[in-house]
């Protein structure tokens, strides 16, 4: 076994072999259908605060989940053990659960097998073999940038190997290893100045820690002594960190087939929800993101156009929603039991033609917003969200940043935000949202509604 295989606790083939054993036990226990999902994760994290590393941790986990179907009764159980006795008991437990639950009236069956072409770029040896020293070197570069700017650095550098294997009684067999990494840093300076920077990558060795450190440190310097600003409607430039929240929220609230089925989505085929500059898709196969070949049901991931030049085109589907609608799953199934339906977990917004630096120059008077935080839905169907700015909010006049302002609270329809997009940067960044990897540009909007001040920085 190679060093990489030892780090990940087994190859994809070995994880698939575990799934086969569980399938055998499920069939012996009387399952009419069964699905086994094995997720093994090898994760490491280096944290830093007050410009010093204070924690380095690593953990290896495996979760074996069984969806046991008897007729139309579905039981789900999971275990963190992989010995023969534990896998046998897993099948028995899931079978007993299926006997106790009500029938799923609209049960459509587990998905059938289909062709899966393993995507290029999902796995990087640089992440799989990343050492504490590699992460420490990245942190050292961030802290050096903070020291040079006389600010203090906080944050974390994480590396993860995820091995996923899926097998079901209909013939699905899928397995692959995926890697991801993320560096986040917040710089804090005197007089309430703060700055933020983040990057995600399949290959941890490609993250430019020094550049992120400089970005956060310089923002913290510039945002010192923020002044109050009256709430109101302002043109804005949203940095990529703020745009992530827009895609995440729209994916969570509306670009799901289950949300449409239940009548709680803003989505309507052919409905215009954005300017011509807005195109959003979900593409798990794009090597510029965090690629994956198949979903957690073992169905091949397909690219899905969600918004094309401002117009709604489609949503993402898992096997259950697709079967009920007479569609085919787009490979967006999540681990069972899943009452939430499918989500676009590889979302990306198309780049524009405006150099990032030109976005601010296009503002006569407005605001530059680094990121949002504490965002929550107010009206899901209208995608009205409330939240606050954070870590660098600046007043812009005549195309130049003139000074920092105190953080502002907003209540804004993210659909109105898409409609107000008037410029999109030609550069994009890969970041992590709460749904998954997100590839986003920065944008300029003609209006953003700020409803109050936070009373502080």
pLDDT 10s digit of each residue in the chain, 457 long?
Answer: 343 443 445 899 999 999 999 999 999 999 999 999 999 999 999 999 999 999 999 999 999 999 999 999 999 999 999 999 999 999 999 999 999 999 999 999 999 999 999 999 999 999 999 999 999 999 999 999 999 999 999 999 999 999 999 999 999 999 999 999 999 999 999 899 999 999 999 999 999 999 999 999 999 999 999 999 999 999 999 999 999 999 999 999 999 999 999 999 999 999 999 999 999 999 999 999 999 999 999 999 999 999 999 999 999 999 999 999 999 999 999 999 999 999 999 999 999 999 999 999 999 999 999 999 999 999 999 999 999 999 999 999 999 999 999 999 999 999 999 999 999 999 999 999 998 999 999 999 999 999 998 765 4
Q: Given this model, what pLDDT does residue 183 score? A: 98
Q: Where in the chain is the domain with CATH 3.30.2290.10?
A: 3-205
SS3 of 310, please?
coil
Structure tokens that stand for 371 in this block: 């990121």
In contact, 429 and 418? CB cutoff 8 Å: no
Q: Specify the CATH number for 3-205; select among 3.40.630.10, 3.40.50.2000, 3.30.2290.10, 3.30.360.10.
A: 3.30.2290.10
Alpha-carbon span 220 to 193, nearest angstrom: 5
Q: Given this model, what pLDDT does residue 454 score? A: 78
Number of H helices, E strands in the chain: 11, 17
Q: Given this model, what pLDDT does residue 455 score? A: 65
Q: Given this model, what pLDDT does residue 7 score? A: 45
Residue among 385, 359, 360, 356 nearest 373 (CA): 385
Structure tokens that stand for 414 in this block: 């993210």
In contact, 457 and 192? CB cutoff 8 Å: yes
| DSSP letters spanning 12-77 | HHHHHHHHHHHHHHHHHTT-SEEEEEEEEEEEEEEEEETTEEEEEEEEEEEEEEEEEEETTEEEEE
Structure tokens that stand for 441 in this block: 């540009």
Question: b vs e for 107-138, b when ≥16 Cβ sit within 10 Å of the residue's Cβ?
Answer: eeebbeeeebeebebbbbebbbbbebebbeeb
Alpha-carbon span 148 to 440, nearest angstrom: 29
Alpha-carbon span 215 to 41, nearest angstrom: 31
């Amino acid at each position: 076994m190679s060093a990489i295989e030892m780090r990940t606790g087994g190859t994809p083939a070995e994880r698939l072999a575990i799934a086969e054993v569980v399938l055998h036990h499920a069939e012996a226990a009387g399952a009419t259908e069964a699905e086994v999902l094995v997720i093994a994760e090898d994760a490491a994290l280096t944290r830093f605060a007050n410009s010093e590393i204070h924690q380095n941790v690593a953990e290896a986990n495996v979760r074996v989940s069984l969806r046991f179907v008897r007729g139309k009764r579905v039981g789900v159980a999971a275990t963190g053990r992989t010995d023969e006795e534990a896998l046998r008991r897993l099948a028995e437990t899931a079978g007993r659960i299926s006997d106790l639950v009500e029938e799923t009236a609209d049960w459509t069956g587990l998905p059938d097998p289909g062709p899966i072409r393993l995507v290029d770029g999902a796995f990087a040896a640089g992440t799989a073999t990343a050492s504490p020293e590699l992460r420490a070197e990245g942190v050292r570069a961030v802290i050096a940038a903070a020291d040079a700017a006389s600010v203090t650095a906080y944050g974390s550098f994480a590396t993860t190997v995820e091995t996923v294997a899926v097998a079901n009684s209909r013939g699905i067999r899928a397995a692959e290893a995926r890697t991801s990494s993320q560096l986040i840093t917040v710089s804090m300076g005197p007089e309430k100045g703060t700055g933020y920077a983040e990057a995600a990558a399949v290959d941890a060795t490609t993250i430019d820690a020094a550049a992120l450190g400089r970005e956060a440190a310089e923002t913290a310097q510039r945002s010192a002594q923020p002044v109050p600003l009256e709430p109101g409607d302002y043109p804005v430039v949203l940095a990529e960190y703020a745009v992530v929240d827009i895609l995440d929220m729209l994916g969570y609230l509306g670009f799901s087939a289950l949300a449409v089925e239940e009548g709680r989505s803003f989505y309507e085929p052919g409905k215009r929800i954005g300017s011509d500059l807005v195109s959003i898709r979900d593409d798990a196969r794009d090597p510029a993101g965090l690629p994956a070949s198949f979903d957690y049901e073992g169905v091949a991931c397909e690219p899905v156009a969600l918004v094309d030049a401002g117009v709604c085109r489609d949503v993402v589907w898992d096997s259950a929603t697709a079967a009920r609608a007479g569609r085919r799953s787009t490979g967006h199934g999540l681990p069972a039991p899943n009452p939430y339906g499918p989500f676009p977990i590889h979302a990306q917004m198309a780049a524009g033609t405006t150099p990032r630096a030109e976005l601010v120059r296009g503002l006569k008077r407005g605001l530059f917003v680094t990121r949002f935080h504490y965002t929550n839905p107010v009206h899901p169907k209208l995608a009205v969200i409330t939240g606050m700015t954070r870590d660098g909010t600046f007043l812009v006049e005549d195309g130049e940043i003139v000074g920092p302002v105190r953080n502002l609270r907003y209540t804004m329809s993210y659909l109105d935000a898409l409609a107000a997009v008037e410029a999109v940067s030609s550069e994009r960044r890969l970041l992590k949202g709460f749904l998954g990897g997100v590839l986003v540009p920065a944008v300029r909007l003609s209006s953003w509604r700020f409803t109050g001040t936070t009373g502080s920085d």
